[in-house]
């Protein structure tokens, strides 16, 4: 069994932009543990049992705030105010064009240069198993219109399920919003090992076609007969090297699926099993889509990829399952809308449910 890092609260304490940072621990009576820093609302550790009951750390992250800030910015983060890409860094809302910060030229990615992954949220433990995090996105920030307050609650239950629930409101004018969580998982408990042996099932019969800059074109493509079809269980590595333009573009799996479930309902998005440890992760959400990513741009660079316990995070050593509305929905009317009228609320949930097989 791979030992896990003992994270220290004092190593995450500082003040950023006037807000104190800290490390918060959620723990249920079965011993499952989740540790979160309010810098970027990053999940930095999840201890989950294997089939023998032994706890292992099943997410990548960093063991100090300093290393977290020098590391992969999306790792473990809550992503807002707009996750995924916005094509050309622009969109039109109510007849007015808005230009958003371009940080993945020529596009906006994950809210721009100062999206939520770089922000310190106000934090308040609610009890031993839940944490409230709040932030206000300002009107004009990163080019987005409107003031957007957001409240998150991270809650761990006795069934070893972690729920991330959010509510946000267009406080003063029309705006757009699209949220997700960007935790990097490795169910083996060895965060430096390959995840290509993990067996995945994805509840999506269509994927979003991408242009050369990885922006959805608006076309939904049937997965039947392609190496992108995970409706039946398959190892991530079984077809990752297949000849397919989407795999070539992303250097592995990095694409968005339209999830087969009723709109707005909490439904199963994906299930992943690690055969060696027996750990199972089920992902449920209210969101209509799921980004599947196989850690294609982890490359063992120091300090960016130097993780807990001195582990170097290398290519395909983690996977991400990111429920959200579709990327670039602001520019594609046929996609489920991410626009909010003044006073309109946006609420959603992601559930990470852990078990064994």
Report the catalytic residues: 182, 322
Alpha carbons 235 and 239: distance in angstroms, whole number: 8
Residue 341: C-alpha distances to residues 112, 151, 177, 179, 337 (Å): 22, 18, 11, 17, 11
Distance of CA 146 to the CA centre of its chain: 24
Edge-to-edge strand ranges of the sheet holding 234-235: 122-127, 130-137, 148-156, 161-169, 345-356, 279-285, 267-273, 199-202, 234-235
204's CB contacts (< 8 A; 6+ apart) are 223, 230, 231, 257, 258, 259, 260, 269, 290
SS3 210: strand
Beta bridge partners of 11: none
- Compute the chain's Rg from CA coordinates: 19
Of the candidates 183, 191, 189, 187, the residue with the CA atom closest to the CA atom of residue 307: 191
Looking up tokens 């808005």, which residue turns up? 98
Residue 350: C-alpha distances to residues 65, 191, 264, 314, 334 (Å): 25, 23, 12, 27, 24
Of the candidates 35, 105, 133, 108, the residue with the CA atom closest to the CA atom of residue 76: 35
Element (H, E) at 158: none
Q: CB–CB of 207/323 below 8 Å? A: no
Of the candidates 51, 356, 320, 317, the residue with the CA atom closest to the CA atom of residue 190: 317
Alpha carbons 98 and 91: distance in angstroms, whole number: 5
305 HSE (CA, 13 A, CB side): 16
């Amino acid at each position: 069994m791979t030992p896990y890092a003992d994270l220290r609260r004092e190593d995450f304490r500082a003040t950023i932009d006037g807000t104190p940072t800290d490390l918060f621990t959620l723990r249920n009576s079965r011993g499952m543990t989740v540790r979160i820093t309010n810098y970027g609302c990053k999940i930095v550790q999840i201890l989950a049992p294997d089939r023998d009951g032994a706890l292992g750390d099943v997410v990548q992250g960093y063991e100090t705030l300093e290393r977290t800030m020098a590391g992969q910015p999306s790792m473990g983060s809550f992503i807002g105010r707009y996750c995924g890409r916005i094509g050309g860094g622009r969109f039109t809302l109510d007849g007015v064009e808005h230009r958003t910060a371009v940080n993945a030229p020529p596009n906006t990615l994950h809210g721009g240069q100062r999206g939520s992954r770089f922000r310190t949220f106000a934090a308040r433990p609610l009890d031993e198993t839940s944490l409230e995090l709040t932030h206000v996105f300002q009107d004009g920030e990163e080019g987005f219109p409107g003031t957007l307050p957001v409240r998150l609650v991270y809650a761990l239950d006795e069934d070893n399920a972690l729920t991330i629930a959010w509510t946000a409101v267009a406080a003063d004018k029309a705006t757009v919003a699209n949220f997700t969580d960007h935790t990097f998982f490795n169910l083996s408990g060895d965060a430096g090992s390959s995840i290509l042996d993990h067996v995945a099932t994805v509840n999506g019969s269509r994927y979003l076609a991408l242009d050369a800059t990885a922006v959805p074109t608006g076309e939904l493509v049937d997965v039947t007969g392609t190496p992108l079809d995970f409706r039946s269980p398959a190892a991530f590595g079984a077809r990752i090297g297949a000849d397919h333009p989407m795999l070539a573009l992303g250097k592995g799996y990095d694409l968005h699926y339209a999830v087969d479930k009723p709109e707005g309902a909490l439904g199963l998005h994906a299930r992943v099993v690690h055969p060696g440890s027996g750990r199972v992760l089920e992902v449920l959400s209210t969101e209509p889509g799921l980004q599947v990513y196989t850690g294609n741009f982890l490359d063992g660079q120091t300090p960016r990829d130097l993780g807990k316990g001195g582990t170097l995070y290398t290519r395909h050593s983690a996977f991400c399952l990111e429920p959200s509305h579709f990327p670039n929905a602001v520019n594609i009317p046929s996609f489920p809308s991410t626009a909010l009228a003044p006073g309109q609320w946006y609420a959603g949930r992601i559930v990470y449910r852990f078990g064994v097989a």
